[in-house]
Each structure stands twice: as structure tokens, then as C-alpha cells.
Amino acid sequence: MKSINSTVYFDHNVLDSIIKGRLPFNLIQQLIAPEYGYIPVFSSENLEEIERSKGYEATFLNLLKASNAKYLMPGLTSDYHYTGEASLVDVDPFDQFELQKKHRLDSPEMGYGFNGMLQKFYGGLSDKNFSDIFSSGATEFDHLLDSVLDESNNDEIQGNNEEELRRSLDYGKLILRQLLERLGQNMDEEYGAPNLVRSLEKSLGGGPKILNNICGPRVLEKLWKEVQKCLPNNSLSMEQFFGLEPVPVVTPTNWPLSTVEKVNAIYHTLNFIGYYRDKSMHKPHRFGAHFSDMTHAGLAAFTELFISMDEDLVKKAMAAYEYLSVKTVVVHMQIIPGLEPDLQK
């Protein structure tokens, strides 16, 4: 995948620091000046974060508009996988913001059981076991199927056809609920520990205390050597462990993955094993922030320059980019009191 020349992707924390006066606006002006000629871009994930910044939405959007930022639109296949290509769209950030709000599909709390499962792995949802989580996930899926049927064109589904469809959906719901309940029971038996991530760290002999001291080059390979120590009988290859190759029987068949999806897979796995793990993952809002950061890292792979103030994000993105030969330059921006902003690669 080739990056789009002369484009710069700002993490939300950089934009936030600019509008709150911790960084000067001329940071962007300098980058877009003729001698550098960078084109600022924003993504759907930037807009998601802007919507969560209650009271500051218009300020963020005006910043993007004043910067002449372009909308980064990744190419998608018919089944919503990245094609590996992207284009820049000249659009008013306010218009794109409203369009995205209009067409957003709200994610259920438990993510049909699987988001809840991950939160539980990180020590969250302490009041629930895996059986509870997957039971709630099955209920969320029931509601999804009901809403799809309710919103369908009733002129096309009438009489016996509608009754037959509802019976089929009810049967499908029953089968799925039974499968998820069985999965939850098995996980309660196998992973009864309140925090699977902490258990993994003990197996690795220190977790972040060891892994965060690993330096490049070849960060991923060095991390893999540590991980292998706690894998039984070398049951997975490095590519399988980091989600880059399918695991027989377990993994869906929608392969191969695009570079963006590979970045996301590596990023999430690095976070799970404790390499510059995002803070307070057991808390719902921090759990969601992790996926936002992961999405930024994936989409920034389309651009030439990625700037963030989040060291944890920067370290994971750099490790993923290095292994995948992504050419995006990652810059960790830090504010030094009393001095102009310092750009540190």
C-alpha cells in the first residue's frame, strides 16, 4: 500500500491541544506552507472523536475547515473490507460530520458478546461472568434481527411469507443463543480468572515492565521471542499470533487482509500482551478509546506523516509500521513547558 504523498494525519489529541491553547495553531500553518506543502486530512474516526467532545464540536470542525483539511476516504469492498487504496475528498467538515451522524449505526453495549468478552479479559465488567456477557450479546442480536425485519419493506413481505420469515428468524435466534451460552460456559470454566491480561503478564514474567524496554529495530520479532515462552508447544506461528494469518478452524475465511487491517491486528495484539498498553482498559470509556486509537493508526497508514501526543499509540503504530514496511513517518509530539512545541521522531 502506497501512502498518499504530502498528507499529514493529526491524532485527536493534537487537534485538542491546538484548540485549547496548549499548542499554537501555526503548527498547522507551518506544515501547510509552500516550503513543506502538507495536506491535512481527517477521517471518520476524527469525526467520531469530535462528536464525543461535547461543547467543542463546532470549534474542532472550524479548525479543520480553516486548515483546508481533506476527508480521507478508504476504499471498501462490498463486504466492508479495506481495498488498500484511499482517496482525498474536498468536503466541508460540517457537512461530513452531519452526514456521518445521520448514517451511524450505534454499537450495542456488549458488541454481541465479543466486546464484552474483551473488556472482561482486561479486568472490566467485574460484576458479570462470561455467560452473562454472551447472554446479553444474544439479546442484542435478537434486537438487531427484529429491527431489520421491522424496517424492511412490508410490501415485499406479506402474509405467509412474513410469518415464515419470522419463524426462521426465531429459530436462528434460538440456535445462536444456545451457541453463545455454551461459549460463555466454556470460557467461565477455562478463563475464570478475573483478569486474563494480568494472568498473561505473569506468564510472560513481567508484562509491560519487560516488553516496554524492547527497542528497535525489529520490535515485533523481539516481542515474539518473549511471547513464545508462554505458548504451549509453539502452537501458533508469529503471523498467526499477531492476527496476520488465519488460525485453522478458528479464523473466518475473509482473507487476505489489507495493510490497514494488519495494522489494526498488530496494534490490538500488542496492547493485549502489554506493549505500551493503553491506560485503564477495564474502564468502558478507556476501552472504547483504545479502539479509536487503533483505528487512527490503521487509517494513518494511508498518509505520509502521522502526528500524535500519545506515546502508547506512537510506540504500537511504529512497531506495526516497521514490520509491515509502511512508509508513514510517525512523530511523537511533546509539549515542553516554556519552549516552542518539540517534534521528536
Q: Which three cell numbers stand for residue 227?
A: 511471547
| pLDDT value of residue 279 | 79
Taking alpha carbons only, the member of 299, 311, 336 closest to residue 49 is: 299
Three-state SS string over 273-291 comes to: HCCCCCCCCCCHHHHHHHH
pLDDT tens, position by position, 19-69: 988 888 788 888 888 778 899 999 999 999 999 999 999 999 999 999 999
Taking alpha carbons only, the member of 41, 77, 44, 113 closest to residue 256 is: 77
Where does the pLDDT of residue 334 fall: very low under 50, low under 70, confident under 90, or very high at 90 and above?
A: confident
**Which residues are CB-neighbours of 211 under 8 A, at least 6 positions away?**
204, 223, 226, 273, 274, 275
* Over residues 307-331, mean pLDDT: 96
Q: HSE on the CB side for 342, CA within 13 Å?
A: 7
Average pLDDT, the chain: 80
At residue 345, does pLDDT exceed 50? no
**Which residues are CB-neighbours of 313 under 8 A, at least 6 positions away?**
11, 278, 293, 296, 297
Question: Across 163-172, 255-264, 318-327, which has the greatest mean pLDDT?
Answer: 318-327
**Is it true that the peptide bond before 217 is cis, omega within 30 degrees of 0?**
yes
Q: Which residue has the higher pLDDT, 11 or 176?
A: 11
pLDDT tens, position by position, 271-318: 888 899 887 655 766 667 888 999 999 999 999 999 999 999 999 999
DSSP string, 180-233: HHHHHHHHHHH--SS-HHHHHHHHHTSTHHHHTT--SSSHHHHHHHHHHTTSGG
pLDDT tens, position by position, 120-164: 666 667 777 777 777 777 777 676 667 666 665 555 555 556 667
Pairing of strands 39-42, 70-76: parallel
Where does the pLDDT of residue 114 fall: very low under 50, low under 70, confident under 90, or very high at 90 and above?
A: low
At residue 339, does pLDDT exceed 50? no
Strand partners, 10: 307
* Percent of the chain topping pLDDT 70: 69
Per-residue b or e along 283-314, where b marks 16 or more CB atoms closer than 10 Å to that residue's CB: eeeebebbbbbbbbbbbbbbbbbbbbbbebbb
Strand partners, 333: 343
pLDDT-wise least confident of 28-32, 35-39, 171-175, 222-226: 171-175
Taking alpha carbons only, the member of 49, 54, 33, 154 closest to residue 100 is: 49
Distance between alpha carbon 92 and the CA centroid of its chain, in Å? 25
